[in-house]
Amino acid sequence: MSITIVTLDGPAGVGKTTVARELADRLEIAYLDTGAMFRAIALTLGEGSWELPVDKLVPELNRLDFDLEGVGRHSALLLNGFPLSEDIRSEQVGLWASHLGRIPVIRDFLRRNQQAIGQVTPLVAEGRDMGSVVFPDAKYKFFLDASIEIRAKRRFDQLKEMGMLEDLESIQARIRIRDDQDRNRSIAPLRPAPDAVVIDTGLLDAQGVLEEVLGHIAKKNI
């Protein structure tokens, strides 16, 4: 029997992380935050790394080794054996990650890593292209969406909670750039897989989204 994979995709600030973590907890499987992988590479390689030629990028990537440990909310991504730094969570690193996400060798490298993890571990996989490209055969696929105003406000509250104060307008401006870049890149652009359930999270809180996702999973299993 193939391993259970639940994919959860959507744009920046839509609330995927909260829902994915809770969902993994309820299903008692691991949670894979693929945005954190792009962010960790961005923080490791630094500003401007998206302008490096491919022959300089590849040896840098070959030095990186991702592992996933634990289950549910206790799932932890390790890079070369160490937990990821909280510094990956800033909006600036998110924007760098989006720049790197347009580069084919970076996407290929991470897709191979993500698929290798999914081959041995049941997962809730969160990102932009989990249902469309990385796990096209996943049994359960969800795509979350909401207006840019709602997403910017959610991201503002989330960053505030982590002690990272940023003003709402610049968060919205960065999200707009990321949206544009993530949706319009030539490989693995952000869009729902044809067989994904699309959920508008604008009128729902995280608990409401979680219940809706769990409802679809239960229905599919009847």
**Residues forming the site for ligand DC (CB under 6 A):** 12, 34-35, 38-39, 94, 97-98, 101, 127-129, 178, 182
Nearer to ligand DC, 174 or 210 (CB): 174
Nearer to ligand DC, 48 or 218 (CB): 48
Nearest approach, Cβ of 205 to ligand DC (angstroms)?
Answer: 19
Nearer to ligand DC, 157 or 220 (CB): 157
Nearest approach, Cβ of 107 to ligand DC (angstroms)?
Answer: 7
Nearest approach, Cβ of 138 to ligand DC (angstroms)?
Answer: 13
Nearer to ligand DC, 11 or 213 (CB): 11
Residues in the chain: 222
Using a CB cutoff of 8 Å and minimum separation of 24, what contacts does 81-89 make? 84/36, 84/39, 84/40, 85/40, 85/43, 86/162, 87/43, 88/36, 88/39, 88/40, 88/42, 88/43, 89/39, 89/159, 89/162, 89/164
Q: Token match 């937990």: residue?
A: 83
C-alpha torsion sign, points 106, 149, 203, 208: positive
Nearest approach, Cβ of 1 to ligand DC (angstroms)?
Answer: 26
Nearer to ligand DC, 187 or 220 (CB): 187
Nearest approach, Cβ of 44 to ligand DC (angstroms)?
Answer: 14
CA–CA separation, 31 vs 76, rounded Å?
Answer: 8
